[in-house]
Amino acid sequence: MKPILITLTYIVIALSPTRFFSQTQAMKKNTVKETSPVLLIHGGAGTILKKNMSPEKEKAYRAALSEVLQKGYDTLEKGGTALDAVEIVIRMMEDSPLFNAGKGSVFTSDGKNEMDAAVMNGADLKAGSVAGVHTIKNPISAARAVMEKSQHVMMIGSGAEKFAQQQKLEIVDTAYFFDQNRWDQLQKIKKSEKQQLDHSGDTTGMLLPHKDSKFGTVGAVALDKYGNLAAGTSTGGMTNKKYGRVGDAPIIGAGTYANNNSCAVSATGHGEYFIRYTVAHDIAALVEYKGLNVKQAAEEVVMKKLLKAGGEGGVIVLDAKGNFAMPFNTEGMYRGYMLRGKTPQVMIYKDEVKP
């Protein structure tokens, strides 16, 4: 009788393949353990000292970062993807004048706001970025559109703006980005014709080889319930920058990178160094090929390689197991993280406890 039973089993499977395979897939799905989401953000690194920060402004930064973390983490807990969370939190920071991205972007030498952004999906290594845009309200959303709605990775200038408009993204008048404080920074720095990397701690307002500068960029890395990573970065660039300069933020492998097999990285710092040393990918490569953990890899690049070269800044790094690091070689970095069952953890200064 055994051969008959086996034959009947094959017949049942052959007659109902869809039902059989759907049930099998359902069983597999039910046996997969859900990943506990993790979210990290940054809002720029540099010389950020308490003596240069009013209590009111510090409170505003901490409140903004906490709100961003909570919103992003809620997205992850509700089943949103890592990409969804990264886009949402960066959009929030782009909408805030506190950060050098979107609404809070600094001015170029010719008095314009020129923005860059990038996003990358760790599951399939798809990526998108935009650079040198002036009228896209949320450049991070444009970067995601390039990734998902085009055959390209990077679009720049008017072409990127035309594409964003075709994708029904919000286009605004350039007046939307005007901020009096940012404008005053430009006027002050133009007197010396120096470049300044956002909220300088230097009372002269000049860039004196990096030491008294804040590197204005926002970024996020996330791990979702499905075990996938994503990274995103957005920036308004450098105050008084000239001739279409593009930094590391929109360059995949320099300021932004994500790979489930290694880690997700978003950087903030002196972009020329991050480009030349392909900082984001270098960290990921040390994890994937050399077997370093994210803390070891990030510190090897940020605290050793970059410092030796004279480059300043920081990174947020996260792997698919939820391990993370947030090293920086400056006096401070606006940063924070959130884990399941915990409240948002926000830090600014160098002496605050780091995980």
* DSSP H/E element including 299: helix 294-299
* Percent helix, strand and coil across the chain, each to the nearest 5: 40, 20, 40
- Cα three-residue angle 30-32-35, rounded to 5 degrees: 125
Q: How many CB atoms lie within 10 A of CB 229?
A: 28
- Choose the catalytic residue: 35, 81, 135, 217: 217
Largest CA distance in the chain: 96
174: annotated active-site residue = no
How far from the centroid of its chain's Cα atoms is residue 217's Cα? 9
- CA atoms within 13 Å, Cβ hemisphere of 282: 20
Sign of CA dihedral 124, 73, 132, 254: negative
Q: How many CB atoms lie within 10 A of CB 214?
A: 25
Closest CA to 316 of 301, 297, 335, 332: 335
To the nearest 10 degrees (0 to 180), the angle between helices 157-166 and 139-149 is 80
DSSP 28-95: HHHHSPPPPPEEEEEEEEE---GGGS-HHHHHHHHHHHHHHHHHHHHHHHTT--HHHHHHHHHHHHHT
**What is the set of active-site residues?**
217
